[in-house]
């Protein structure tokens, strides 16, 4: 009797273990395997345009207040949110035009991030002229990052290009003279040139540029001030001069003139005009021997070398003999220091 009960109990116990084992096996089949922790970080390249804009404005909200209260723009480099914004815009997957939209946008804090990112991009050299042309429209903090960009790209803009668009308030800024002075000191071996934009209507008045340069304690600023002196001495009142003559740019037909081989007088005249001090020249000869054509050839040479050529016509009341010069030309030295 006892043996039968023991056998019965053992069979029941085996049945319970079997049921538990079956239930656990089925539960394991239905339970999904635990997910492995993702180890791949989302990179800036995976950010789509819409997400890029959203993310940049989120980051801007984190560092904009700090930027507004910072003592120097370089302090932004230590801000994690600012560094993330720079990383986003420095990524090659972000179009260069998109970076420039932020660089010249209404948010000066994001402009700082865009210009800092531009410095790190492989295609940064493509935007040197664009950044230089808009430099005077940047906020002072953004100017700092633009100057760093100029220092870290090739080819660099002419060293004085950054002051061509100087504003009256620049000289009174507590930070801008220091930023430009440091920039000039780091480019002390470069030629003190303003570039061609100094001669355009968009350039600031020379007096405004001079007032700003006077605030800087830098050898380059002194050299550029001397360059301004030369420009002012050679500054032409074009409105007055065109009332009785014309500039060489208005001349037509000179492209058909041909230099006679071995005509050494052209070289002699050009050398005389180019010497210091400049010598006045008088060309005389019989009628129709080519006096006008000769002077036009000289003028064409000088114009190609960067000189300003002005042609004045004789008043009708002047007596003109058969041997007088039919062309009265004035040659003004080019404004670059190389000539």
Residue 339: predicted pLDDT: 33
Lowest mean pLDDT among 118-122, 230-234, 317-321: 317-321
Q: Write the pLDDT tens digit of every residue in 298-330.
A: 877 777 776 777 777 654 443 333 343 334 455
Residue 199: predicted pLDDT: 84
Residue 35: predicted pLDDT: 36
Residue 79: predicted pLDDT: 96
Residue 32: predicted pLDDT: 45
Residues in a beta bridge with 219: none
Residue 245: predicted pLDDT: 75
Q: Write the pLDDT tens digit of every residue in 37-87.
A: 333 343 444 455 568 999 999 999 999 999 999 999 999 999 999 999 999
For residues 151 and 121, the answer to whether their CB atoms sit within 8 Å is no
pLDDT exceeds cutoff 90 at 122: yes
Q: What is the mean pLDDT of residues 159-179?
A: 96
Arithmetic mean of pLDDT over the chain:
79
Give how far Cα 164 sits from Cα of 167, 197, 232, Å. Answer: 9, 7, 14
Residue 37: predicted pLDDT: 38
pLDDT exceeds cutoff 90 at 259: no
Please give the helix or strand (H or E) that residue 144 lies within, else none: helix 140-151
Q: Write the pLDDT tens digit of every residue in 204-219.
A: 999 999 999 999 999 9
Which residues, in sequence order, are CB contacts of 46 under 8 Å at separation 6+? none
Q: Which two tokens stand for residue 99?
A: 């970076």
Give me the percent of the chain exceeding a pLDDT of 90. 50
pLDDT exceeds cutoff 70 at 335: no
Query: Positive or negative, the Cα torsion across 185, 157, 208, 189?
Result: positive
Tokens 């039968």: give the residue: 4
Q: In what order do the strands lie in the sheet containing 308-312? A: 245-247, 308-312, 328-332
Residue 90: predicted pLDDT: 96
Q: Write the pLDDT tens digit of every residue in 126-153.
A: 999 999 999 999 999 999 999 999 999 9
* Helix/strand/coil for 104: coil
Residue 242: predicted pLDDT: 72
Q: What angle (nearest 5°) sits at the alpha carbon of residue 43, between those of residues 39 and 47?
A: 130
Angle of helix 176-185 relative to helix 219-233, nearest 10 degrees, comes to 90
Angle of helix 140-151 relative to helix 108-120, nearest 10 degrees, comes to 10
Lowest mean pLDDT among 115-129, 185-199, 235-249: 235-249
Q: Which residue has the higher pLDDT, 252 or 162?
A: 162
pTM of the predicted model, to two decimals?
Answer: 0.61
What are the structural domains, with CATH classification, of the chain? 44-233 (1.25.10), 238-332 (no CATH)
Return the percent helix, strand and coil in the chain, to nearest 5.
60, 5, 40
Q: What is the mean pLDDT of residues 172-190?
A: 96
Residue 255: predicted pLDDT: 62
């Amino acid at each position: 009797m006892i043996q039968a009960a023991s056998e019965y109990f053992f069979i029941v116990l085996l049945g319970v273990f079997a049921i538990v084992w079956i239930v656990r096996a089925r539960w394991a089949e239905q339970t999904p395997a635990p997910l492995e922790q993702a180890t791949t970080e989302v990179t800036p390249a995976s950010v789509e345009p819409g997400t890029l804009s959203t993310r940049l404005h989120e980051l801007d909200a984190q560092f904009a207040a700090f930027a507004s209260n910072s003592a120097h723009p370089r302090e932004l480099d230590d801000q994690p949110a600012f560094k993330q914004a720079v990383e986003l815009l420095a990524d090659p997957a972000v179009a260069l035009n998109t970076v420039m939209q932020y660089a010249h946008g209404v948010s000066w804090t994001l402009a700082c991030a865009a210009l800092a990112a531009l410095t790190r991009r492989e295609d940064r050299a493509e935007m040197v002229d664009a950044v230089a042309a808009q430099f005077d429209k940047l906020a002072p903090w953004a100017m700092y990052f633009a100057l760093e960009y100029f220092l870290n790209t090739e080819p660099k803009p002419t060293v004085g290009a950054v002051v061509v668009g100087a504003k009256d308030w620049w000289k009174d800024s507590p930070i801008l003279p220091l930023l430009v002075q440091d920039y000039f000191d780091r480019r002390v071996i470069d030629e003190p040139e303003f570039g061609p934009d100094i001669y355009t209507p968009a350039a600031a008045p020379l007096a405004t540029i001079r007032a700003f340069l006077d605030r800087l304690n830098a050898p380059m600023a002194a050299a550029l001030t001397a360059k301004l002196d030369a420009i002012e001495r050679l500054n032409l009142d074009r409105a007055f001069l065109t009332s009785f003559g014309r500039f060489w740019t208005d001349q037509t037909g000179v492209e058909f003139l041909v230099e006679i081989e071995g005509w050494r007088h052209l070289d002699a005249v050009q050398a005389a005009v180019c010497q210091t001090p400049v010598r006045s020249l008088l060309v005389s000869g019989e009628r129709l021997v080519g006096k006008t054509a000769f002077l036009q050839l000289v003028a064409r040479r000088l114009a190609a070398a960067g000189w300003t050529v002005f042609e004045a016509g004789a008043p009708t009341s002047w007596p003109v003999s058969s041997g007088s010069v039919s062309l009265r030309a004035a040659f003004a030295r080019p404004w670059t220091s190389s000539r």
